[in-house]
Amino acid sequence: MLKQNLIALQTIVRKEWIRITRIWLQTLIPPVITMALYFLIFGELVGKQIGNIGEFTYIEFIVPGLIMMSVITSSYNNVVSSFYSSKFMKYIEELLVSPTSPYTIVLGYTLGGVVRGLFVGFLVTLTSMFFTNLRIYNPFVIIVTIILTSILFSLGGFLNSLFAKSFDDVTIIPTFVLTPLTYLGGIFYSVKRLPEFWQIVSYANPILYMVNSFRYGFLGISDVSIIFSLSLLFIISAFLFIFNVKLMERGYGIRS
């Protein structure tokens, strides 16, 4: 059984990788172009008007957050679109009738989202080097944060795809939840500069902790505790994984 599930896991991840590279004009290039525009407009043009944030230029300050934004959206979109397509086109039934365990299915699609998220993050990081010199303060924090974040949002995309009953349902969460939380997650500003009320509201946004942990890895500055942030990412990811597996075991959203 273990060998069968390992083969199934490898197959799912391989399928996801082939899908990502086959339609690379849709999966890899758009986030790179979008982030390049952010670097140009906010970093070079607007940033010169804003000036420095502490000892760092504005573009140095926002680059980690923009890389994280690309990882979040790519990881989430990959899983929600891929798994919902498998439901819509009925080939999820091939997995359901096989001896593949729910754990393996959730893990396989999650790893597929992680692969795309990390690859896009790498491409965006390379692109950012044309606009600024990247500093690296703590590579361990960078690696752990980006992996946990991509896992978390891959699992979030899987959950969205389980509940989705139409293609409209696939876009509701990214449009009305994920995008506002991302823009209000401290990418373009330090929460310490906000009024006290809005600081309290910002601390309820989980993306704030991801962005600040990632920024700490590059610049050594953060508005929140790094240990708390990484612990929070791990706990939420573990909860989402278990929750997705339980839903799969019950056949929620995949069996009529």
Residue 14 has a pLDDT of: 95
User: Average pLDDT of 119-136?
Assistant: 93
Q: How many CB atoms lie within 10 A of CB 32?
A: 15
Q: Is residue 255 part of a domain?
A: no
Residue 98 has a pLDDT of: 82
Q: Is residue 109 part of a domain?
A: yes
In this structure, of 48-52, 137-141, 213-217, the range with the lowest mean pLDDT score is 48-52
Residue 49 has a pLDDT of: 81
Q: Is the pLDDT of residue 2 over 80?
A: no
The segment with the largest mean pLDDT, out of 7-16, 106-115, 160-169, 174-183, is 106-115
Q: Is residue 95 part of a domain?
A: yes
Residue 8 has a pLDDT of: 87
Q: Is the pLDDT of residue 256 over 60?
A: no
Q: Is residue 256 part of a domain?
A: no
Q: Is residue 60 part of a domain?
A: yes
Q: Is residue 179 part of a domain?
A: yes
User: Average pLDDT of 220-231?
Assistant: 95
* pLDDT classification of 136: cutoffs 50, 70, 90: very high
User: Average pLDDT of 132-161?
Assistant: 95
Q: Is residue 142 part of a domain?
A: yes
**Tens of pLDDT, residues 172-209:** 888 888 888 998 899 998 898 888 888 898 999 999 99
**Tens of pLDDT, residues 99-120:** 889 999 999 999 999 999 999 9
Contacts (Cβ under 8 Å, ≥6 apart) of 223: 186, 190, 191, 192, 208, 212
Q: Is residue 141 part of a domain?
A: yes
Question: How many domains does one find in the chain?
Answer: 1
**8 Å CB contact between 160 and 245:** no
User: Average pLDDT of 232-251?
Assistant: 95
Q: What is the DSSP string of the chain?
A: -HHHHHHHHHHHHHHHHHHHHHTHHHHTHHHHHHHHHHIIIIIIIIHHHH--BTTB-HHHHHHHHHHHHHHHHHHHHHHHHHHHHHHHTSTHHHHHTSS--HHHHHHHHHHHHHHHHHHHHHHHHHHHTTTSPPP-S-HHHHHHHHHHHHHHHHHHHHHHHHH-SSHHHHHHHIIIIIHHHHHTSSSSS-GGGS-HHHHHHHTT-HHHHHHHHHHHHHHS--SS-HHHHHHHHHHHHHHHHHHHHHHHHHTTTT--
Considering the chain, what is the average pLDDT of its residues?
A: 91
**Tens of pLDDT, residues 37-80:** 999 888 777 877 877 888 898 999 999 999 999 999 999 999 99
Q: What domain range includes position 111?
A: 2-250
Residue 52 has a pLDDT of: 80
